Amino acid sequence: MAGGLYSPLRLRSGAVLSNRIAKAAMEENMAGEGQLPDHRLLELYRRWSAGGTGLLITGNVMVHAEALTGPAGIVLDEASPLEPFTRWAQAAKSGGSTVWMQINHPGRQVQADMPGVVWAPSAVGVELGRLSKNFGRPTAMTPEQIEATVERFAVTATRAEQAGFDGVEIHAAHGYLLSQFLSPLVNKRTDAWGGSLENRARMLLDVVRAIRATVSPTFAVAVKLNSADFQRGGFDVDDARRVIAMLEPLGVDLVELSGGSYESPAMTGRSADERTRAREAYFLDLARELVATSPLPLMLTGGVTRRETAEKVVADGVAVVGMGTALSLTPDLPLLWREHREAGRSMPPVIWSNKALASAASMARVRHQLRRVARGRAPRPGTLPAYALVSERLGGRRALRRYRAWLSERRNPVAPAGR
């Protein structure tokens, strides 16, 4: 591929990324009142934009107010006020970055104590042994619910463009709803959305079509896709290759490759698959297999922390290098790399025997750094994972009370006095 890590990338929509470094989506769990972005997210994204990252992808924004990955999730639907999102986009672009909103529906990956709905392609629950009880029991979606959810994705994307975001990334990885439809382990349907890969990909393709039909041609549309689920009999690299080919004629700008799910958390480097055990670029071997045939530019996310590794990823034909944890610890890492300096901070992996709990602790520790940066403080890589996990769960209880009250008010709005 022509150009290196700091060369611009022109996408098919006409958008130009100033360099090949992206801040990959990390779920911030930082919603303010009304499940909206507030000053903390603005400060966090302002820091990243000033740090030289070419592309900022937000943590997932939920398309359905009744279905959140956690009680502190951001919601953007037809009833959400737009002004907080406009401020968020402005903050994220203040240093010259391009900003995309990641949009998502959790499907069955919803905590058991959450109000709302737990939907999935089929009534197949999350299987995590004794931790399975922490998730709600899903019901199989009706065709009407599937079609309404496709429309919700389109509404959120349209409103993101109105707020000033440069694009959206549709989350079809990590075991969330669209990924569940793709997986033969979760999708047991026998109708138009189940069986063959073409049928299992139908909902994702419909979402892309619906968004492209409502946003402007210059608005970027990307898809986050698992290179593999790392579960025997699940979605694999050959499936990923075929889905990428299906996406190409629909006007997709970029496909981000990641991997895993709550049941096999490869995205935190904890899969049982040998090919993810390298300390950096967990999914690079799989990406190499896909780059050779992909008709779309690919972005690779997972474990990159050093410029040498990032340069290798680009040299291997990957268009964009995504980073999460590294930018939570060093928000200005792209500027340091320009000066041929490396980050002075790193976090050791969480190597607890329970992989699901270790994954949760790893993500909680990263989000702890995000909250520190959002408050104007320096990251603290030495934070104990157990402390981060307990602290987050205590905060989650408060957020759950707020979310319950907000959702109840949405369902049953109080009429103005005198009416």
Confidence (pLDDT) at 329:
95
Q: What is the pLDDT averaged over residues 147-169?
A: 98
Q: What is the DSSP string of 199-210?
A: HHTHHHHHHHHH
Computed from CA positions of residues 237, 243, 245, 250, in that sequence, does the dihedral angle turn out positive or negative?
negative
Instruction: Find the mean pLDDT for residues 300-307.
Output: 88
> Which 3-state string (H, E, C) describes 353-387?
CCHHHHHHHHHHHHHHHHHHHHCCCCCCCCCCHHH
Question: What average pLDDT does range 292-299 have in this prediction?
Answer: 94
Give the whole-angstrom CA distance, residue 176 versus residue 178. 6
In this predicted structure, what is the pLDDT of residue 70? 94
Using left for φ > 0, alpha for ψ between -120 and 50, and beta otherwise, residue 164 falls in left
Query: Where is average pLDDT lowest: 179-183, 229-233, 400-404?
Result: 229-233
* Architecture category of domain 9-411 in CATH: Alpha-Beta Barrel (3.20)
CA angle 383-387-393, nearest 5°? 130
Q: How far apart are CA 70 and CA 111, in angstroms?
A: 7
Give tens-digit pLDDT for 335-392: 999 999 999 888 888 989 888 888 889 999 999 999 999 999 999 999 999 999 999 9
Quote the CA–CA distance of 233 and 226 in Å, as a whole number. Answer: 14
CA 105, 109, 111, 112 dihedral sign is positive
User: How far is it, in rounded angstroms, from Cα 368 to Cα 375?
Assistant: 11
User: CA-CA distance, 379 to 304, in Å (whole number)?
Assistant: 18
| 57: nearest Cα among 136, 160, 192 | 160
- What digits encode the pLDDT tens for the residues 60-110? 999 999 999 999 999 999 999 999 999 999 999 999 999 999 999 999 999
How far is Cα 326 from Cα 23, in angstroms, rounded to an integer? 9
For residue 298 the two structure tokens come to 């690919």
pLDDT of 271 higher than 50:
no
pTM of the model: 0.92
Q: What is the mean pLDDT of residues 6-26?
A: 96
